Copies of this chain bind each other. A is one copy, B any other.
Amino acid sequence: MSSIRDPGSRPLTARGAATRARIVNAAADLIYERGVERTSLDDVMAESGVSKSQLYHYFADKDALVLEVIARQTERIFESQRPDLEALESLAALKAWRDGILRLNKATRGKGCPLGSLASELANDSEPARKRLADAFSLWRDRLEAGLAKMRDRGEIDASANPHDLALALLSALQGGLLLAKTSRSSRPLEAALDMAIDHIARRATARTGC
């Protein structure tokens, strides 16, 4: 997702790439904890052990760094949902993905989705960040949609099902469930939201084969 290059577009050395990655990872962790507004470049330097001149060698300003944080968090989300997200070809696989999300929510102690938090903070303020976040959510929706399209093509869900809208609704339920779980310090809203979405998809199956 994030192509590794320096501002002058020359390829980075291995050491340069490692330094750059250390900066982005530190910024991603701090921003996930505190939000963009309360994370300063000084905090990022202290956390990553990188000097000001090194940081400015790789990033023109905080906005440029934040765009890379969005890319990094998107990668992390896809990594954390591997292999489930790539193998979403059946209702059973969809339920395995749901279980993985709930485990992850527990492991992060319900801190919410890093992309959702970035979107909430930045979508009305920064047009480049909003676009990057919209692209990240589109990619996520694409993965879900591809799985739902396979289920439809294999006849597991009804031929009239719209994988695009179902994926959009599933991702919305996930985001809203994570937000309410974070606020209530309970996984129940997340479970209720995902179970509704998956039950809704499953009923498209039983409506065809049942009754």
Given contacts A38-B37, A111-B124, A172 and B190 within 8 Å (CB-CB): yes
A174 within 8 A of B: yes
- A199 located at the interface, meaning its Cβ lies under 8 Å from any Cβ of chain B in the complex: yes
Count A interface residues, CB 8 Å. Answer: 53
A137 at the interface (CB under 8 A from B): yes
CB distance from A84 to the nearest CB of B (A): 19
Interfacial residues of chain A within 157-171, with CB under 8 A of chain B in the complex: 165-166, 168-171
> Which residues on the B side are within 8 Å of A197 (C-beta)?
169, 173, 196
Contact residues in B for A137 (Cβ distance below 8 Å): 180, 183-184
Q: Which residues of B contact A169 (CB under 8 A)?
A: 173, 177, 189, 192-193, 195-197
Is residue A175 within 8 Å, beta carbon to beta carbon, of the partner chain?
yes
- A167 → B minimal CB distance (Å): 9
Q: Is the CB of A179 within 8 A of B180?
A: no
Nearest opposing residue in chain B for A182, CB measure: B123
Residues of B within 8 A of A86 (CB): none
The answer on a CB contact under 8 Å between B111 and A182 is: no
23 A-B residue pairs with CB within 8 Å:
A35-B121, A35-B125, A37-B38, A116-B120, A116-B179, A119-B179, A119-B182, A119-B183, A134-B185, A165-B192, A165-B195, A166-B196, A168-B189, A169-B192, A172-B190, A173-B176, A174-B176, A175-B175, A176-B193, A196-B196, A199-B200, A203-B207, A210-B211
